């Protein structure tokens, strides 16, 4: 944790840290000098009956505490400013790292736990950086300075006073080890709580439609109660520690009063010296208490930094960045002997051979688990094939820069993700420098312009979270416009009409066919009406290309595809009778 503090806090913000150190030194010297001035007041001013000296000493005490207050403020301000700058940079580094991680990482890591890193764990880091480490250093120096002054005054009285320190140190070590262990449990429990909240918000329609609110509430309550119980245990131990430290310090104070009183009576110590000693010993519990609390923050901060550091050092060897750029592509895509498995020994795609050219719409069809979505994942390089290769204009896509490849692919999901901003900004997302005319043209090509103009504010209408204020067909057509505006050579659509009614499906397919002009288009689908609108059909089963050809060719062949179509035609005729 201290190496992290040095690298992330001291070095980058050395000027603020240096200013804070200077302010701390001045504030500490002012605080340490005050009891010495009190000694002079009692021994010299009061003993000599000097009003002038009395006025001078009392004014000096006021000035010292004024200095201490002012420089303590600037110390705290500089530390807070540096800490906030460090946390902002750490958040940026964490977010940048998240953006660079492979798709596979997000598939294995719950999003709620990642959110927890940015909330709970960063809060623990903030407390450790702005309170924990500074207090350990500052209050340790204060404590050592007080002890040194006490030894200088009267080493025998100081040794008697320090008799309770070993017990205080043992208590701090014992309790902080317990608190640290509980801190780990609290951190993990809060991560689980955040994950539950995130999942519940995303799945609110499912939760409410299945009337599972009570179940979700109980699941959340159990986790939050577990976190609260562990946190309460840690706080109880911390409270016991603070009380115990204060009691041991009070024992030390009692010893001073007894032993120091004897020294004064015997003439070995002045009354002023006795009062100064009492002030110093009264000040001892404060740094000890702050050190014990700071060590608790440090324990929690170490746990949080371990989790954050594991993210920052995450290595995702799923795909390796290429080094070639491809400013322009015709969009000729070839899968050549491609095989792929998520888990070794369980292939989801085997020996796939597909050649696709511009102006061609290819439907990727097959039963659930046939490997259709894996086909899309490989083309986008979320994963790489185990064997074989995918070529774009004759180049192995593994040789291309990943961003360069994806810029040539317009990807549209079954449930398109729209951002909670305007229609215009959602379409422009794929091309931030697009003009209003280009955005409107993309909307026309996607058959979205007319309905957009009928919205309350047209292109400036806020679509709501995930596009919740729009219908499914409207969201799909905006997603098509967003893909078109990037002018991709390839369109990749994953079940674009699965959740749409027949009329809306017809509108979306018209938009897709219009957008596909001059482009290579892949449509992953199970809707026969969508399949029949394609130029060629690739039928996958058990990860293999079972059949390939035009719709009519495969019907005439009478194989697996024809069987699937017959089942679909029955379904379609039923739907038609209901219309």
Above 60 in pLDDT, residue 579?
Answer: no
Report whether 493 contacts 523 (CB < 8 A): yes
Contacts of 561 (CB under 8 A, 6+ apart): 365, 537, 539, 546, 547, 554, 555
Write down the pLDDT at residue 289: 72
177-229 pLDDT, tens digit each? 777 677 667 767 777 777 777 677 666 766 666 567 787 778 778 877 877 78
**Residue range 314-318: mean pLDDT, rounded:** 71
| Closest alpha carbon to 220 in 243, 187, 197 | 197
pLDDT the model gives residue 208 = 67
Out of 258-262, 434-438, 544-548, least confident range:
258-262
Q: How far apart are CA 150 and CA 159, in angstroms?
A: 9
Local confidence band at 570 (pLDDT 50, 70, 90 cut-offs): very low
Q: How far apart are CA 497 and CA 505, in angstroms?
A: 6
> Tens digit of pLDDT for each residue in 273-287?
777 777 777 777 678
Q: Computed from CA positions of residues 162, 164, 170, 173, in that sequence, does the dihedral angle turn out positive or negative? A: negative
Cα gap 509→412, rounded to integer Å:
13
pLDDT in tens, 229-263: 877 777 787 778 777 777 877 777 787 778 778 87
Q: Considering only CA atoms, give the Rg of the chain.
A: 36
Q: Per-residue pLDDT tens for 109-166?
A: 877 778 888 888 888 888 888 788 888 888 888 888 888 887 877 777 778 777 777 7
Q: How far is the C-alpha of 111 from the C-alpha of 192, rounded, in Å? A: 10
Confidence of residue 574 (pLDDT cuts 50, 70, 90): very low
> What average pLDDT does the segment 160-177 reach?
75
Q: Does residue 326 sit in helix, strand or coil?
A: coil
Residue 569 pLDDT grade (very low, low, confident, very high; cuts 50, 70, 90): very low
Side-chain-facing half-sphere of 505: CA atoms under 13 Å:
18
Long-range contacts: 172-176, Cβ < 8 Å, 24+?
Answer: 172/241, 172/245, 172/288, 172/291, 172/292, 172/295, 175/237, 175/238, 175/240, 175/241, 175/244, 175/292, 176/241, 176/292, 176/295, 176/296, 176/299
Tell me the domains of the chain and their CATH numbers.
Answer: 90-312 (1.20.1560.10), 326-408+489-579 (3.40.50.300), 418-487 (3.40.50.300)
Tens of pLDDT, residue by residue over 483-524, are 888 888 888 888 776 656 667 667 667 777 777 778 898 988
Which token pair is 337? 């002997």
Instruction: Give the mean pLDDT of the chain.
Output: 80
Using left for φ > 0, alpha for ψ between -120 and 50, and beta otherwise, residue 467 falls in left
b/e 109-135 (16+ beta carbons within 10 angstroms → b): ebebbbebbbebbbebbbbbbbbbbbb
d(CA 162, CA 150): 10
Q: Write out pLDDT tens, residues 63-110.
A: 888 888 899 899 888 888 888 888 888 888 888 888 888 777 887 787
Distance CA 409, CA 407 (A): 6
Whole-angstrom Cα distance, residue 402 to residue 412?
A: 18
Strands 520-524 and 536-541: unpaired
- Say whether pLDDT at 336 is over 90: yes
536-541 vs 360-365, strand pairing mode: parallel
- Return d(Cα 292, Cα 244) in angstroms, integer: 11
pLDDT of residue 321: 83
5 versus 397: the higher-pLDDT residue is 397
Neighbours of 479 (CB within 10 A): 27
pLDDT at 433 over 80: yes
Distance CA 523, CA 530 (A): 8
């Amino acid at each position: 944790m201290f190496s992290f503090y040095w690298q992330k806090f001291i070095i980058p913000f050395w000027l603020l840290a240096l200013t804070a150190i200077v302010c701390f030194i001045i504030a500490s010297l002012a605080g340490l000098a005050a009891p010495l001035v009190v000694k002079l007041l009692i021994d010299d001013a009061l003993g000599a009956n000097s009003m002038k000296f009395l006025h001078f000493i009392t004014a000096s005490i006021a000035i010292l505490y004024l200095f201490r207050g002012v420089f303590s403020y600037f110390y705290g301000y500089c530390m807070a400013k540096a800490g906030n700058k460090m946390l902002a940079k750490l958040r940026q580094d964490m977010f940048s790292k998240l953006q660079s991680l492979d798709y596979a990482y997000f598939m294995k890591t719950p999003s709620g736990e990642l959110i927890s890193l940015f909330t709970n764990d960063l809060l623990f880091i903030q407390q450790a950086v702005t309170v924990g480490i500074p207090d350990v250093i500052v209050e340790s120096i204060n404590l050592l300075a007080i002890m040194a002054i006490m030894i200088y005054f009267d080493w025998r009285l100081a040794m008697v006073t320090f008799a309770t320190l070993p017990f205080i140190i043992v208590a701090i070590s014992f309790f902080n080890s317990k608190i640290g262990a509980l801190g780990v449990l609290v951190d993990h429990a809060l991560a689980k709580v955040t994950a539950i909240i995130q999942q519940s918000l995303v799945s609110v329609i499912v939760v409410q439609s299945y009337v599972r609110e009570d179940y979700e509430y109980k699941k959340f309550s159990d986790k939050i109660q577990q976190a609260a119980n562990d946190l309460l245990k840690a706080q109880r131990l911390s409270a016991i520690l603070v009380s115990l430290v204060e009691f041991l310090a009070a024992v030390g104070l009692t010893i001073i009063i007894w032993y120091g009183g004897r020294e004064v009576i015997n003439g070995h110590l002045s009354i002023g010296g006795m009062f100064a000693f009492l002030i110093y010993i009264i000040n001892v519990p404060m740094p000890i208490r702050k050190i014990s609390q700071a060590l608790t923050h440090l324990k929690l901060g170490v746990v949080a930094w371990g989790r954050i550091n594991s993210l920052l050092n995450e290595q995702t060897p799923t795909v390796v960045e290429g080094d070639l750029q491809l400013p322009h592509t015709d969009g000729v895509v070839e899968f050549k002997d491609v095989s792929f498995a998520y888990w070794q020994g369980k292939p989801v795609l085997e020996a796939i051979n597909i050649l696709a050219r511009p102006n061609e719409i290819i439907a990727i069809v097959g039963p659930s688990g046939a490997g259709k979505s894996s086909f899309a994942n490989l083309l986008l390089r979320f994963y790489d094939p185990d064997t074989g290769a995918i070529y774009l204009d004759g180049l192995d896509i593994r040789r291309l820069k990943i961003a360069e490849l994806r810029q040539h692919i317009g990807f549209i999901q079954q449930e398109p993700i729209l951002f909670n901003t305007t229609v215009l900004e959602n379409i422009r997302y794929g091309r931030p420098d697009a003009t209003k005319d280009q955005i409107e043209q993309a909307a026309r090509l996607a058959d979205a312009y007319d309905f957009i103009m009928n919205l309350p504010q047209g292109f400036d209408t806020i679509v709501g979270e995930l596009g919740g204020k729009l219908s499914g067909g409207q969201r799909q057509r905006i997603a098509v416009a967003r893909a078109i505006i990037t002018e991709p050579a390839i369109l990749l659509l994953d079940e674009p009409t699965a959740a749409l009614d027949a009329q809306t499906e017809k509108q979306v397919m018209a938009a897709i066919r219009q957008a596909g002009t001059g482009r290579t288009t892949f449509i992953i689908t199970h809707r026969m009406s969508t399949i029949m609108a394609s130029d060629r059909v690739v039928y996958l089963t058990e990860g293999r290309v079972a059949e390939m050809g035009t719709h009519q060719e495969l019907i005439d062949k009478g194989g697996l595809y024809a069987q699937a179509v017959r089942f679909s035609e029955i379904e379609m005729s039923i739907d038609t009778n209901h219309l």
